[in-house]
Structure formats: C-alpha cells, structure tokens
Amino acid sequence: MAQNMTKSFTCQCERVFTDEALMKQLEKEKFDVGIAEAFNICGLGVFELAKIPASIATFSGVHMDSVAEAIGEPITPSYVPGAMSVAGDRMNIVDRLKNVLDVVFGRKFFINIFDSEVEAFRKKFGPEFKGYEQLIAESSYVLTNSNPYLDYPRPMLHKTVPIGGVAVSIDPKKNKLSAEWDAVLNQRNTTVLVSFGSVAKAIYMPDEYKNTLLKVFESMPDTTFIMKYEEEGSKMADHLPNVHLSTWFPQNALLADPRITAFVTHGGLGSTTELAHQGKPAILIPIFADQPRNAHMLAKHGGGIVLTKFDLESPTKLRDSLLTIFNDASYARNAKRLSEMLLNQPISAKQLLIRHSEFAAKWVFILCTVLSGLAKLTFSLSAPNLCKKDAPNAFLRRKASNAYNPLQNGAFAELLKRDSYSARCGEAIPQTNPR
C-alpha cells in the first residue's frame, strides 16, 4: 500500500508541474503566499517553481513527526504519542517501545513520499532543486489540525500553529436541523448517534459486528439509534423501530443538538474534534491509522470510553459502555467542560489561521529561532549565538552530528549565501511583490 501511495502521489505531482500552462498562470498571478498540505511536498515544490515568496505548510492530521523534524522540533516518543500510536501518553515500557516503532515507521512512510517527489522535481528541473527538508523548513508556518487544549502536550516552536476545530460550526443558525431530523430526535428521551466515518464504510463491516450492533440496539428499545449506513434503502434494521439508518446525516448539527445523548464513533480526527467542541460523551471504537491515538486523546478528558473493534464480537462491552455513559453523569459533565474550554480559548482557531496567513503574506521571513531549532539537532550552538553577526562562520566551526545534517543537502548553505541572511535573522523583511 505504501508503495502504491508513493507512486500515486508522485504521478499526480508530475502531472501538475509538467503542465506548462498551469505553471505559467500560477507565476503570472504573483501570489503573496501559498498554502499546501504537507502529506506530500508537491505543493511546496510548485510554489517554488511559481516564485511564490512565502509558503505555509498544513497537515489535516495532528502534528506529523517528519514535518516536526524538518523544522527543528524534537521527536520524543518516550512521552508523546506518535500519529499512529495505539496508546495514550501514560505508557509503560511496552507501550513506549510500540510508540517508538510507530514513529519510526510513520516517519519512513512519509519520507519515502517526499523523496520520490523531490526526485521527480530534480529529474525535470535539475539536481539543485531544493530537498524536502529545505522546502518545509523555509515555510513561514506549519498549520496543524490539532488543538493545544484537546491534544497531548508536546515541545513545539512558535512556527507551528495548531488550528484544530477551525471548520467546526458552532453557529445555531448553521446547525439548524430539518423537520425530518427534528422528528427523529423527538421520538425518545435518549438518542445515540452511530458513525464509523467515510473511509471504512459500515456496509463492509463483518456480519458478526453488524449483528452485535443490532443486538445492542434491540436490547435498548427506549433509546433511538441513528446510524450511518451506506446502503440506500437497506432493510437491515427494519425490524427495529428505534433504529434509523441513513447513508448520510448532518453530523455536526446533530452533535450540537441537546437531544443527542452520546456518540459511537470510529475516532477520526474530524469527528473527534466536532465531538469535543459540541460537548457530547462518546464511545470510541478506532479502526486504523490515527484513530486509536485520537480516541485515547479524547478519553483522557474524561468524556469517553475506548473500545477496540474486536470488542464488537459480542454485544456485552458496547452495551455496558452505553449504560455507563447513560448512568454516570461525570461523562456528560466532563464532555461539556471540555466543550466550554474549547469555545472560550484565548485566541480562536479561525483568528490564528487568518492572522498568521495575513502575516506570512505581508512579510517574507525565516525567523532566527527557526534556524536555532534546526541547529539544536545537529550543532553545539545555543539560540542566541545564531543571531550574532558571525553566525554563518559559527555554523562552519562546529562539528555536525551524524543524526541529521541539513548542510549535506544544501538547506543551510543556500540560506548562508543570501545577502539578506543577517536581516532575516534579526528582523522580518516586508513583502515587496510588485503587481
């Protein structure tokens, strides 16, 4: 799968940068800043070709270790769960070993994609085309889909800006439900939403797991269950009057409604973030990828119970977990508390996104603290030394470690050759992009 994804991303990237008409149009537009997903580095490479002076890297998941490493942030699997971790941040020695392996293999997965795309760029534009480390390191900011009040704490540079929840609507006017959904929610005093996301579809769930869900629904006739099930006109639950199957439903609007009692979810980051903002207790049943990490992250706040997909082999654990949430008011109370905290954070995710994007568009800069962050991984230099006038010579006087040396790919060498280096180190340079 990893090889197929690498080939797919590289092929798509080549289609973009070999489209001469598109590339000329991008350059002609004279954009002030480009924003690109860092799941691969194609967008950042295209910005380089289009001569866009400032770039922002984004990631639709939590902070990615390969990106964090490229901008100079430490990777600490001993106490920070990796993106694919199956445990929380309270790890025993076995959990830590698993976390290290998750981080190592996850980093390798993304770097293979990065390297393949860089090779494609260099094949067409020459060997001097920037490596992925430099493209990422020179981004003005890295926007992540995490939230500091929801996610696990980790050491970060101010270059990293967490904007998790930026797309979650909390406006009652936008979350207004149709008459059809309003009628469903009025049927019983307790209503549970069930969804396993859009990637691993419920119609492909093993029959054993489907039967478990139906048995749980049948055993709780006083509770309405709304389940996302992707088969149009399915008769799977026709014998259960308290079950409503739908190929799609307005998840965020339903979660915002006070008549929803709990959410049974796969723990995708989008669902987890909506759930946290709307303040509903949850049963989290992760399936793959980052979902186990997200599930434990939310449960840490006291508003959720984590099960495994193998717990669906029998109805006992799911039913007991639902009853626990119904009867123990602390789950709803903790979920509500987390929601209120997220809705009242000092600076909203939307403000962070807008202000940092506008700032990057106005000023072309590579901050001195970013350079010091990278140097910490490779040189025996403190941050203040990098801001002195002899900083370029200081780089060359120190012996680099073998762990990770940006000088080998020319990332720092390119910076040191620029006439504006000392100005970049000491102050931001205003954007002068003529129109």
- Name every residue whose Cβ is closer than 8 Å to that of residue 367 and which is 6 or more positions away in sequence: 159, 424, 428
User: Does position 29 have pLDDT exceeding 90, yes or no?
Assistant: yes
Amino acid at 62: V
For residue 399, the model assigns a pLDDT of 36
Mean pLDDT of 292-319: 97
Pairwise CA distance, residues 180 & 196, whole Å: 22
3-state SS assignment for residue 284: strand
* Residues 90, 304: Cα–Cα separation, whole Å: 16
Q: Give pLDDT, residue 384.
A: 37
Angle at 296 between CA 290 and CA 300, to 5 degrees: 145
Q: Does residue 94 carry a pLDDT above 90?
A: yes
Beta carbons of 162 and 148 less than 8 angstroms apart: yes
- Burial (CB < 10 A; 0-12, 13-18, 19+), residue 366, is buried
Cα 405 from Cα 352, distance rounded (Å): 32
Q: What is the pLDDT of residue 367?
A: 52
Whether 154 contacts 71, CB under 8 Å:
no
183 by Cβ neighbours in 10 Å (0-12 / 13-18 / 19+) ranks as: exposed
pLDDT at 375: 47
Give yes or no for a contact between 44 and 38, defined as CB atoms under 8 angstroms apart: yes
CB 177 within 8 A of CB 157: no
Taking the C-alpha atoms of residue 251 and residue 231, their distance in angstroms, rounded to an integer, is 18
d(CA 251, CA 340): 19
Q: Distance between CA 304 and CA 284 in Å, rounded?
A: 7
Asked if 278 contacts 343 with a C-beta cutoff of 8 angstroms, the reply is: no
Q: Which domains does the chain have, with CATH numbers?
A: 2-166+350-430 (no CATH), 179-343 (3.40.50.2000)
Q: Could you tell me the pLDDT band of residue 374, with boundaries at 50, 70 and 90?
A: low
pLDDT for the residue numbered 3: 87
Helices (H) and strands (E) in the chain, counts: 18, 12
Name which of 314, 431, 415 is nearest 372 in CA terms.
415
Instruction: Strand 54-59: give its sheet, edge to edge.
Output: 33-37, 54-59, 141-144, 160-162
How many other β-carbons are positioned within 10 Å of the β-carbon of residue 277? 23
User: What percentage of the chain carries pLDDT values higher than 70?
Assistant: 83
Q: What are 155-207's pLDDT values in tens digits?
A: 998 899 999 999 999 998 899 999 999 999 999 999 999 999 999 899 999 99
Tell me how far apart the alpha carbons of residues 51 and 243 are, in angstroms, rounded to a whole number: 55
Instruction: Find, among 233, 243, 238, 239, the residue nearest to 194 by Cα.
Output: 243
Q: Which residue has the higher pLDDT, 211 or 373?
A: 211
Reported confidence tier of residue 420, pLDDT bands at 50, 70, 90: very low
Buried b (16+ CB within 10 A) or exposed e, 390-400: ebbeebeeeeb
pLDDT of 8: 94
- Residue-wise pLDDT tens digits, 325-346: 999 999 999 999 999 999 999 9
Two tokens, residue 180:
């059809």
Query: In this structure, what DSSP letter does residue 385 have?
Result: G
> What is the mean predicted confidence (pLDDT) over 278-305?
97
Amino acid 363: pLDDT: 81
Q: What span, in angstroms and rounded, lies between the C-alpha atoms of 392 and 416?
A: 6
Tell me the average pLDDT across 4-17. Answer: 95
pTM of the model: 0.83
From 255, 303, 250, select the one nearest 278 (Cα to Cα). 255
Residue 61 pLDDT more than 80? yes
